[in-house]
Amino acid sequence: MNEQTIALVTGANKGIGYEIAAGLGALGWRVGVGARDAERGEAAVAKLRAADVDAFVVPLDVTEDASVAAAVALVEERAGRLDVLVNNAGITGSAAQQPTTVDVTTVRTAVETNVIGVIRVTNAMLPLLRRSPSPRIVNMSSSVGSLTKQSTPGAETGPIAVAYAPSKTFLNAVTVQYAKELRDTNILINAGCPGYCATDLNGFRGVRTPEQGAAIALRLATLPDDGPTGGFFDDEGEVPW
């Protein structure tokens, strides 16, 4: 049996996902680099390999059933099982997200990627995860999905965004439901917030580096068997729901 830990990171061709792949690879893990565009994925894999990471590209659009099914087949062929799934791929949707004027397509698109995409990929990968001695699932969320923060006057929650922020609230709620169903298994599933990082997602306005943003995912990917499940964490600890 292959003793090397196997991970898959969705949306790993750039930004925080790339740094998560690099960080897991630095642990000596074999990392599937999920990328909806195969060329961008190959470029990221070449860069990771140059840094001595055992990386392979996994063409994967989280919104497409056929793409996800092909990704499962590829991971099975290349690794035989999956130890860690990081659901990192995400979008904000568009700049115009005032609730009273939003194009509902913007909301639907954000939910399709940030929530339904996570459910689609997780469920498809579960048979491979169940072959692992210590499976971990990490859902990259955001503190803008915290209803506690959103309803606390003065708390930093970014611009009004009726698609993006509620999609992360939805993702947090989904994470809790998975943890409840999987409580009697060895699978730990948690949501993580990377903080406000300079990436394409926000026009590189974030104040943290993508490497710093990756740290919480690395922590949740490497939890011990008695670690938490169904939680929401950032570098400081628990994030209020």
Binding site for ligand NAP (CB under 6 A): 10-11, 13-17, 36-37, 40, 60-63, 88-91, 113, 117, 140, 142, 193-194, 196-197, 199-202, 206
Rounded distance between C-alpha atoms, residue 12 and residue 25, angstroms? 12
3-state SS string over 30-67? EEEEEECCHHHHHHHHHHHHHCCCEEEEEECCCCCHHH
Selected catalytic residue, list 14, 18, 47, 164: 164
Nearest-angstrom CA–CA distance, 124 and 153: 40
Q: Does residue 47 have an active-site annotation?
A: no
> Facing residues of 55 across strands?
31
In terms of CB distance, is 112 or 131 closer to ligand NAP? 112
∠ CA 119-192-48, nearest 5°, is: 85
Least distance in Å: CB of 156 to ligand NAP?
Answer: 12
10 versus 190: smaller Cβ distance to ligand NAP: 10
Nearest distance, CB of residue 1 and ligand NAP, angstroms: 30
5 or 167: CB nearest ligand NAP: 167
- Rg, C-alpha atoms of the chain: 17
3-state secondary structure of 144: helix
Compute the least distance from the CB of residue 82 to ligand NAP, in Å.
Answer: 17
Q: Which of 14, 47, 168, 178 is catalytic?
A: 168
Catalytic site includes residue 164: yes
Among all residues, which ones are annotated catalytic? 164, 168
